[in-house]
Each structure stands twice: as C-alpha cells, then as structure tokens.
Amino acid sequence: MSNNRPWLKLIVLAVLCAGWFFLMDRGVTVGGNDTPPLGSFFNPFEGFYRNNSSDYWNKDLDLPGLRAPVDVYYDERLVPHIYATSDRDLYYTQGYIQAQHRLFQFDIVSRAAEGTLSELLGELTVNIDRERRRIGGRYLAEQIDSMWQANPSAYEAVMSYADGVNAYIDQLKPKDYPIEYKLLNAAPSEWSPKRTALVALNMAYTLNFANKDIQATNTRALIGERSYDFLFPPRSSDDVPVIPANTPFISRDTSLINASQKARLGLAEQKLSTLSPSLGLKGYQETPEGIGSNNWAIAGPYTSTGKPLLANDPHLGLTLPSIWFESELHAGGLSVHGVSLPGVPGITIGFNEHSAWGVTNVGMDVLDWYKIEYTNPNNTRYRTARGKTTEVTYRIEQIVVRGSETISDTVVITEFGPIVYTDPQDYRYGLAMDWLTLKRPSAEIIETFLGLNKSKSIRDFLGASYKMGWPAQNLVYANKGGDIALRISGTIPRNLPDEGKYIKEAGDPAAVGYLPPVENPFSVNPRQSYLTSTNQVSTDDTYPYDYRGTFEHYRNRRINSLIRGTRKSDVERMKDFQMDSYSVFAADLVPVLLKDVKRDGLTLYARGMLDLLQEWDFRFEHDAVAPVIFEEWAKELRKLAWDEFEVTPKTGRLQTPEDWRMVDLLKEDPLSPWFDIQKTDVRESAADIITASLFAASDQVEALVNNKEDYAWADYNNASVQHYMRLPAFSKANLPVSGRKGTLNAQKGNVGPSWRMIVDLSSKVGADVVYPGGQSGHPGNPHYDDMVTDWVEGRYHHVELHDREAIKDNDQFVHLTFTP
Amino acid sequence: MPRKLLIAFLLTVVLGLLSLGFGTWWWFLIVAAVIGFTVRARHPSMLFWTMLLAGAATYALGGLWFSWGDGDLPSRIAEIFKLGSAPVLLLVTSIVGGLSAALFGAFGAYLRVVIQGKPEKTTTEAIA
C-alpha cells in the first residue's frame, strides 16, 4: 500500500474489518465441526473463560417465587442442605439449585426422551430422535402431566420444581450459560412438569434391558424350539431369588397363568413359523451390556450394632455430570438426604431420620414386539388381535435438525403400539412396540418417592411402594425400629407362560391385565435376617404367577454368601462388599479349564498363563493380568462353543447362551454336540475347545501385553465416565477400576455403580456415600469430577441429617439465604 | 514509544476491559476504532502494531483473570480445539483480541486521515 493513498488503505481496512467481523460473529468449520461464534466465545468476559468460575452459586438471592425465606447450606462437596418452611418452597428451591448446577443435563436428558436432540445437536442424533418420536415419549409425557394435574400433591411438587428451574433460566444472561450451550451456540429452553416426566421416562426406557425378543426369535428359528429351551432356560438352579425361598405369597386368581399349566395349554407351539428369521432391523438399538444393580438390607442379628444396615449401588451408564444430584431436604415434617435425578423433585434413593431405601431394577420383560404384516398393497391395513383387518393410523413427526432441513417422519400406529422399526428388506413388515409404559402410563412415580422420603415405618414403605406403577423395581427398605423389607414394586403383567419371549403376531395369546399390587412378591423381616437384590430372579418356583425377564446369575450368589459368612456386619464390611471384585463366574469356570486343558504341545507363553490362573484368587483387580488372561480365554471359548450362532445377513441378530449355561454344560456334558467345531471334520469335545481357545487367547494376550508395559485389567476394561456430548475433554477415561460384569463392583466400559450408599440405622441415622462425578455440572468447576477418584478407590463420604439450629453454627458450611 | 501510542495502548486496555466486561464482544471493536480515530497517530501503521499489542494484552488479562481460580476449563477447551494446553489457548485468545483491536484501530486512524488529512508533525517528531 502506498503512503499517499489513504482512501485505498481505508477501503482495504474496511474490507478486512468486515471480514473479521463476519468471521468473529459466525465461527468457522474445522475438521467438519462448526466452532461457536468466535467473537463472543473468545471474549474472556462472555465466552468460555467466564465458565471457569467456581463460585457461581455462592450468593444470597431474591427469588420472588418463594413464599418465605429459605436457608441453603453448602458443604465442602457442594451438596446443598435446603431448609424451607413448606413443601412448595422446598421443591422450588430444589429446582432452582439443581438447574444452577445441572441445566444442560436437564435439557439433554429430557430432549433424548422427547426426540428433540437434533434441534440442539444436528444430524448426529436424527436416528435417536426418530426412534424416540416413534415410541411417542412426548405424548406419554403429556399424559403423565395431565395425570399429575389431577393430583394436587404431586402437581404441587412438579410445578414448584419447574417454577424454580424457570426462575433460574429467566435470570440467566447468555454470558452465564453453561459451557455446552456456548459450544453449541444455543440457549436453554423453558422447563415444565412435562419435561420432568420425560426425564423419568428416559430412566424407564433405560431400564428395559429384558429386550431380547428379536434375537430370541431369530435364534429359535435357527436351532429349533427344543434346542432353544435346552440352551436358554429362564433360570439357573444356583440362583438365590430376591424374595427368600418358601416365602408365602398372596394369590387370588391363578387359574389362568400357573407355570405348571404350560404343557397342558400347549402354549409352546406359538404361531411364529411364518416369521422371517432375519429381520435386519434398521436402527434397532440393544441395551448396553452390564447395566444392573445391587441392594441389600441386613437386620440386627447380623450387624455389629444390632440395628439394620442398608446398602444400594445402582449400576447405570456413567456420565459426567453424574446422573445423580445429592441433596438434603428439610420442610415441615420432612428431613431427607440422598440423590435424585436432575429434573425430578424429591429424593429417589436415600434416608430420613427413621428409614432408608434403595432401588434396583427387576429386569422383568415388559417390552414386547408385534410383527405387523400389512394385508393390502398400500401397506395401510393390518390384522388385529381379533383376526379382522383394520386401517393403521398415522402421526406426522417433524424432527427439527439444526443446520439442516426439518425431517418429516410418518409414525404408523397400530392397536398393538407404534411401529418403531421396519424391515429394510421388505417394507410390508414392521415391528410394533408393545411397552407397558405406553399401554399403562402411570403418574405415581413422584408420589412413590415423595412417600418414601417421609416414610417412618413398614406400613409407610408398603403404602408408598404400592403406588409405583412403572416397570418393576426391587425396593429395599430398613428402619431404626429394626425392620427390613423388600418388595417387587411396579406393574406386573399377567403373562401367559413364554408369552412375549419371542416376537408376537396378531392373534397370539397375550397378557390378561395386571396383577393387583397386593400380589406383588415381597418379604418383611424374613427369618434369614437379610434381603438382597442384584437383578436376579424375583422368586422361587412357588410364586404362583408366570413372569419372564433377563436376570443375572452371579452377583446374587456372591452377596448372599458374603452376608451369610459375616457374623456381624458393619459399615466398613459393607464397603468391602460393594467394592468386591470377586467373580463367581471365574471361580466356576477356571477349575474346569485347568482340569480339562490338554497341556501337551502348549507354548511356554500359554503354560505361563496357566500358572498365573492357577494362583489367581478370581478377583478382577485393576492392576492384575490374570483377569485379562481369563477374559480372553473365556471370550475365545465362547466363540468355539457357540460357533453355531455365527451372525450372518440370513440369520439376523442372534442370542448366545449365558455364561452359567456354558459352565454347566462343560461340567455336566463335556461331549455335548454343541462343543463340536462346525468347520472341522472331527468331533470335538469340551477339552478340545478349551485347549484350542487357550491357543487363540495366548496370542491375543501376548499381543496386548507386548503393546503396553504393565498391561493389566484396567487397560483391558477401559472404565470411563463420559460427558453427555461424548467430549473426551469433559470425560474421564482409563480409570483404574477393579471388577467386571458379574462382580458386585460391576464395571464394564462406561457402565457401573452410579451411586454407592450404605446407611447405618443405629442411634443416629447416617450414611457413607460416593458417586463417580461431582455435584457441579460445569466442567470448569472443581466439583465437576472431584469424587471420581474417591469412587475408583472405594473412599466414601459420611453424611448425616443436620438439624437446622445445629447447622447454623457450623462453620464448615457456606450459608446462603434465598428471600422472596 | 511515542506518547500518543502509549496513550492509545493504555486506553485500549482500560476501555477494552470495561467494554468487554459490561458489553458484548463487538463493543471492543468500536472502542478500538474510536481510539484509532481520536488518537491522531502520525503513523497509522505504528498504531496498528500498538493496538495489536494492546488488544492482545486486554484479552490475555481477561483470560488470566478468569483462569486464576481452581477450575481447569481452559485446559479442557484447549483439548477440544486441539490446541494442546491452556497457555496455547491463551495465546490464541490474545491473537483474537490483538487482531480485533489492530484492524479496527487502524481503520479508525485511516478514517481520520481521510476525513481530516495527515496530522502535522509535532516539534519533537520534527527534530527526531
């Protein structure tokens, strides 16, 4: 530029400034990802730097929505202890505070259930949204909201809570938005009771892990009914049921559905012969493996204090921020401490001055699929359960996709439920979802937990648990009076034997209503003085009703044996139980492997592996290499044992028998034809496949160990806690966690114990707690992930209920006042 | 550094921090342009470099202010944007601030030159 042409320079600068403004105002695309608008994002006062603040919560507030002042005391872990004078103000404040710490999580979880993630995240989540829209989460939530409106106490709780959340959102300026919104260049949206229902529905859907109908149908088509029944029995004889054996059950009408009547009714011959064996269903999602939970209550005779102990560790997808938010709530007659799902008022798992309670999933199969075959060329008519044909109805869903065009999805509705998946090879077929939660929407989830929050006695506990109308949960309970109880709480369909195990067709026998709550299995103060649930089978064979599900087979044996073997349990012993990495599966299988393996011709490396397994204590310790050897060997053994179940486009998704069945067969029938390797001409036995799988495993293990010095179980298992947007920078990976699927400390990838709680119900009720995360949902806050290391290493935090007068003078708490 | 440039530097930092703190990001651009216009720098190209430093200092000071606590968000953001570490992110932040101030400051300065002509040399400058 020449010095004597200022006009020219001005024009060039004007163009540069305009370009710079344009760039800063919009952002750029780097590696296929859009950056947020750079101007605001890099402005230290309104961009990401501002979110590095750790004391955003630390101020007294005027909240016009309150009716009376509320005191909030934060402890050193950022757990709020809220003291209000009414339930309304309590839930209002709870909503405000949870939103303050977890607003983005509220949004993302409710959007996931509603099918509106793509509005925020773009094309990445279109398929998830499509599936959720077809299921109809939004309409279900609206129904639940209407039911709440008809119930004053529940509605007051959810409405006050929503008002509190919105009070926080309303006073937020863009510069104070959570970092995720800034990264996405988006804004939070209004909260409502409907969105609370969506958060609860998201959990209900997560817990539907007994969803193997498609695999079961394909597998049965492949191997036949007899083989299927042989390889996939519903329960193992070693299982210790949730409700102790020989508990008397209440039963009024068992005429229809006694399991022993199965043969007489001839229901095994269901009309499924015409079903395509390979429904290659587009978008079909399987439930993550490893989800499960433990809870137990031990009565005085087995504890060191003579008073009950209660423990609970629900195993769920581990996220940052954590799926739980810990709080202590006080108002009127309520004093309760525990955790709740952000977005839902009250305490879900916790304790009060009198009682404690915990939850595990039952795993009953409450989600069935109907194969819908259209009867006309236009695919508009289908056959109903009564054999007539009728027209489908349609619902048009508009999926708004950020940065792209809105997608219209036509949801086809049948009398069996919405068609969620279609066969991509043949559009004349579809699968209609017959889900308990869709058929029988229940709004009592809030009342159940608010009832538990105030429970003082067994009567209160049973009263609250009777209200639970969702897919069944094992609710465990204990109180200071010395009582313990466990009830299978929730709606149980009156199933016909084997009904819903496979994909159904119109006209197939179907469940006849639901059991009255009084007939749900339960146990109060059993003679054995303890009760446990680990997602195992609910009852022994004496329960008069037939039910089915996906039940676990190892943790129940372990916890029952540990409790029986401990004369006087205390809190420290309970911690050992929750952190236990002993694998009953390994203890069952390793002796068989070592006995049957053919040692001739083994390599030096393989012999070394055998030596390590010989000395192993069956504990999946994070720094041990023996668990890696075992896991690889078991993996290779499964491949050879179940080579008949190779998935091909023709077979579709298949099931393979569970590990306990494989161990039983190896022990009881080593010459079983199932152990024959299909590809060879000779007939193999158990010993042959055990040896062959050791060779394969030794190659794998050698490769793994050679890749990394000190390679151990933690490297293999890769335990992690992941941010909702799957951003590694906001997640924690490669955690040195001990345990595997099937150990009490069940950990697999990013699924594991999401909250550990041990409540001591002696003179002063208190608990030891920890979860893999932190109270703050803001990655810039030190409390974002400050408990992850404690959780990994099995360190707990002791909590007690604090009297309002006592906490006032305790300088370990930060006191805030919220005034109307 | 000539006095005017020193004044421009200080004004940019002080007014820049105020504008960024109480306004939005583009207020800083206006502040830079106004400073460039009012300072009447004899050599607008020198002003460009001065404003570059001042803008970088403003953003760096702001970034450091919020990095001072016990959070580690800058490191996490640096990882997301594949910038390696928080200091590199702070450098990028400073570059954004520096270029913003330099471009708009220089624009303000040349606008002044176009409207009013180049300012006369001061006695000191003439002797120099």
Q: Give the pLDDT confidence of A150-162 residue by residue, as tens digits.
A: 888 889 999 999 9
**What pLDDT, in 10s, does the model give residues A646-680?**
988 778 788 999 999 999 999 999 999 999 999 99
How far apart are alpha carbons B74 and A47 in whole angstroms?
A: 11
3-state secondary structure of A637: helix
CB contact under 8 A, B71 and A782: yes
DSSP letter for A116, please: -
CB contact under 8 A, B100 and A24: yes
pLDDT (average), residues A617-632: 97
Domain of residue B64: give its range.
Answer: 3-127
**What pLDDT, in 10s, does the model give residues A1-47?**
445 687 898 999 999 999 999 999 987 877 667 789 999 999 999 99
B43 CB burial (10 A radius; 0-12, 13-18, 19+): middle
How far apart are alpha carbons A740 and A757 in whole angstroms?
A: 20
pLDDT (average), residues A389-411: 92
Between chain A and chain B, the number of residue pairs with CB atoms below 8 A apart is 117
Q: What is the CA radius of gyration of chain B?
A: 16
The reply to whether A40 touches chain B by the CB within 8 Å rule is: yes
3-state secondary structure of A817: strand
For A234, what's the count of Cα atoms within 13 Å in the CB-facing half-sphere? 19
In percent, how much of chain A has pLDDT > 90?
66
Find, in chain A, the residue whose alpha carbon is nearest to that of B110. A10
Let me know if residue A400 belongs to a domain: no
Mutate to test the interface with B, among A52, A175, A182 (most CBs of B within 10 A): A52
pLDDT value of residue A297? 97
**What pLDDT, in 10s, does the model give residues A744-769?**
999 888 899 999 999 999 988 999 99
Residue corresponding to tokens 């990802």 = A33
**What pLDDT, in 10s, does the model give residues A540-596?**
988 988 888 889 999 999 999 999 998 899 999 999 999 999 999 999 999 999 999
How far apart are alpha carbons A335 and A511 in whole angstroms?
A: 41
CB contact under 8 A, B66 and A53: yes
Nearest by Cα to A216 from A363, A419, A365, A385: A365
**What pLDDT, in 10s, does the model give residues A428-457?**
788 888 888 888 888 888 889 999 999 999
- Count up the domains in chain A and report the number: 2
pLDDT (average), residues A619-643: 97
Domain of residue A21: give its range.
Answer: 6-35
How far apart are alpha carbons B87 and B48 in whole angstroms?
A: 25
The reply to whether A52 touches chain B by the CB within 8 Å rule is: yes
Of A324-333, A354-363, A395-404, A415-424, which gets the smallest average pLDDT?
A: A415-424
B46 CB burial (10 A radius; 0-12, 13-18, 19+): middle
pLDDT (average), residues A340-364: 95
pLDDT value of residue A275? 42
Q: Which of A660, A685, A717 is the last residue of a domain?
A: A717
pLDDT of A346 higher than 90 = yes
- Count up the domains in chain B and report the number: 1
Residues 100 to 119 of A: which have CB under 8 A from any B CB? none
The reply to whether A729 touches chain B by the CB within 8 Å rule is: yes
Q: What is the CATH number of the domain that holds A702?
A: 1.10.1400.10
Residue corresponding to tokens 């594991």 = A752
pLDDT (average), residues A468-493: 92
In percent, how much of chain A has pLDDT > 70?
93
In percent, how much of chain B has pLDDT > 90?
70
pLDDT (average), residues B18-22: 94
Asked if A489 contacts A361 with a C-beta cutoff of 8 angstroms, the reply is: no
pLDDT value of residue B11? 94
**What pLDDT, in 10s, does the model give residues A258-282?**
444 333 333 333 333 334 444 445 4
Q: Give how far A78 is from chain B: nearest CA, Å.
A: 14
Mutate to test the interface with A, among B68, B77, B81, B88 (most CBs of A within 10 A): B77
Q: What is the pTM of this model?
A: 0.91
Mutate to test the interface with B, among A21, A45, A54 (most CBs of B within 10 A): A45
Burial A626-639 (b: 16+ CB within 10 A, else e): bbbbbbbbbebbbb
pLDDT value of residue A517? 87
CB contact under 8 A, A43 and B62: yes
How far apart are alpha carbons B65 and A779 in whole angstroms?
A: 18
**Who has greater pLDDT, A790 or A515?**
A790
The rounded mean pLDDT for chain A is 89
Asked if A37 contacts A26 with a C-beta cutoff of 8 angstroms, the reply is: yes
Burial A465-492 (b: 16+ CB within 10 A, else e): bbbbbbbbbbbbbbbbeebbbbbbbbbb
Out of B66, B96, B99, name the one closest to residue A50 (CB): B66
Asked if A401 contacts A123 with a C-beta cutoff of 8 angstroms, the reply is: yes
pLDDT of A351 higher than 90 = yes
- Give the E-state strand segments of A380-461 in sequence order: 381-383, 389-391, 393-399, 407-414, 417-422, 429-435
pLDDT of A624 higher than 50 = yes
How far apart are alpha carbons A99 and A187 in whole angstroms?
A: 14
ipTM: 0.92
Q: Give how far A61 is from chain B: nearest CA, Å.
A: 21
Find, in chain B, the residue whose alpha carbon is nearest to that of A728. B80
Element (H, E) at A22: helix A6-26
With an 8 Å Cβ cutoff, the interface of chain B facing chain A consists of: 20-21, 24-26, 28-29, 44, 59, 61-63, 65-67, 69-77, 79-81, 92-93, 96-97, 99-100, 103-104, 106-107, 110-111, 113-114, 118
**Chain A contact set for B74 (CB, 8 A):** 48-49, 52
